[in-house]
Amino acid sequence: MSILCEAGKPMLDFRDLTPPEIIDAVQAAGGTPHQGQRVARAVLRGGVQSVEELPVAGRLRQALSGRFRISSLGVEAHRLSKDGSGKFLYRLADGERVEGVLIPDRRRNTLCVSTQLGCRSGCAFCLSGSQGLIRNLLPAEMLGQIHAASRVSGTEIHNLVLMGSGEPLDNFENVKRFVQSATHRFGLNLSPRKITVSTSGIIPVIQRMPTEMPVSLAVSLNAPNDELRSRLMPINRKYPLQDLMNALRYYGRNGRRVFIEYILFLGVNDAPVHASALADLLQDLTCVVNLIRFNRYPGARFEPSSEDAVRVFQKILLDRGLVSVVRDSRGADIMAACGQLRAAKDPVPG
């Protein structure tokens, strides 16, 4: 249900606005640019929970309270993995739920952020998209995941990976606004290099990223040819591999490095012939290939490749001059690893 202001129009959520928009809104309500900057920092960095708490004079607060609200997410469940990762079940204002993961290490904490409820991509191996797309998340709901995770865990978030539930580039306008608030000096003030957006390969939006959202790009590839990739990832039928490679070369033309995510499935895409074909495909692309063993979940159609097969696969890539890293999956024991997140109206077990 929409919250209405006195004029009967829906109230705007301050956390759906970018810092320049917040500054403009404060000035329109009679404030100064400096007051607008203070409001933007207070709202977007999570220090206040309501308009009544804003660090401005009472008359200005009153003017803003009739037009704006400040949303937050509830945390319905928080589970810790034996490896230290934490999975959050966030409760949204409309009763929907979405998951996210906090991945700590010795020097930095990385939050895996969801961008949609469900996903329309339909990848054969991913639990997150098994329900299809329910709806897009708003910038405030993405920002709310950061505030909620930091509040519950008591830790600072240093890096963001948009690799939770959803296809970020299918929700590009909302994701772009979220990134603007995350990177602006009056927002979260994160470096764009600290934010990674993962995509299944929506070419027209990848081509917009260098100028509109210059953050790190990760592409879920998972196959070295169109026949196999189309079976694993239906989006390949619309955006085939050679077209995708051309878009990635365009993205990387100014020295930007692309992260290639390659999930290894037993007997499907993990043979030496697949590694050689992948090396051919990526030979002129500046990239890092992240190899990830498939993470099981109940009802999955696939099994993870053996550790020996992963090592052989990686060696072939390294021998061909590619940078390749075997990524450990964090949080698999609590269904918090890559491909295991989901969104649901009912509490999610595991």
For the segment 90-113, what is each residue's pLDDT rounded down to a tens digit?
999 999 999 999 999 888 999 999
Asked if residue 2 is part of any domain, the answer here is no
Asked if residue 54 is part of any domain, the answer here is yes
Catalytic residue, candidates 119, 123, 287, 338: 338
Q: Are residues 153 and 30 in the same domain?
A: no
- Domain CATH number, residue 104: 3.20.20.70
Q: Are residues 169 and 117 in the same domain?
A: yes
- Judge residue 132's burial from the number of C-beta atoms within 10 Å of its C-beta, 0-12 exposed, 13-18 middle, 19 or more buried: exposed
Q: Are residues 54 and 122 in the same domain?
A: no
Q: Are residues 199 and 289 in the same domain?
A: yes
- Residue-wise DSSP of 253-322: TTSPPEEEEEEEBTTTT-SHHHHHHHHHHHTTS-EEEEEEEPPP-TT-S--BPPHHHHHHHHHHHHHTT-
DSSP H or E segment with residue 247: helix 241-251
Assign 112 to helix, strand or coil.
strand
Please give the tally of structural domains in the chain: 2
Asked if residue 32 is part of any domain, the answer here is yes
Asked if residue 345 is part of any domain, the answer here is no
CB 252, CB 240: distance < 8 Å? no
Catalytic residue, candidates 99, 141, 167, 261: 99
Q: Are residues 288 and 152 in the same domain?
A: yes
Instruction: State how far the alpha carbon of 207 is from the alpha carbons of 41, 77, 162, 173, 247, in Å.
Output: 31, 38, 18, 14, 6
Q: Are residues 162 and 279 in the same domain?
A: yes
For the chain, give the mean pLDDT. 92
Q: Are residues 86 and 104 in the same domain?
A: yes
The number of residues making up the chain comes to 350
The model scores a pTM over 0.85? yes
Asked if residue 274 is part of any domain, the answer here is yes
Q: Are residues 329 and 314 in the same domain?
A: yes
Sequence-distant (6+) residues with CB within 8 A of 21 are none
Which portions of the chain are predicted below pLDDT 50? 1-4, 345-350
- Give the pLDDT confidence score for residue 128 in this predicted structure: 80
Q: Are residues 161 and 206 in the same domain?
A: yes
Asked if residue 41 is part of any domain, the answer here is yes
Q: How far is Cα 125 from Cα 192, in angstroms, rounded to an integer? A: 29
Domain hosting residue 33, numbered range: 12-69
Asked if residue 1 is part of any domain, the answer here is no
Q: Are residues 61 and 181 in the same domain?
A: no
Asked if residue 181 is part of any domain, the answer here is yes
Q: Are residues 64 and 193 in the same domain?
A: no
- Examine the fold and report which residue of 27, 43, 69 is the final residue of a domain before the chain moves on: 69
- Give the pLDDT confidence score for residue 342 in this predicted structure: 64
Q: Are residues 47 and 111 in the same domain?
A: no
Q: Is 52 a catalytic residue?
A: no
Which of these, 212, 188, 217, 216, lies nearest to 200 by C-alpha position?
Answer: 217
Q: Is 261 a catalytic residue?
A: no
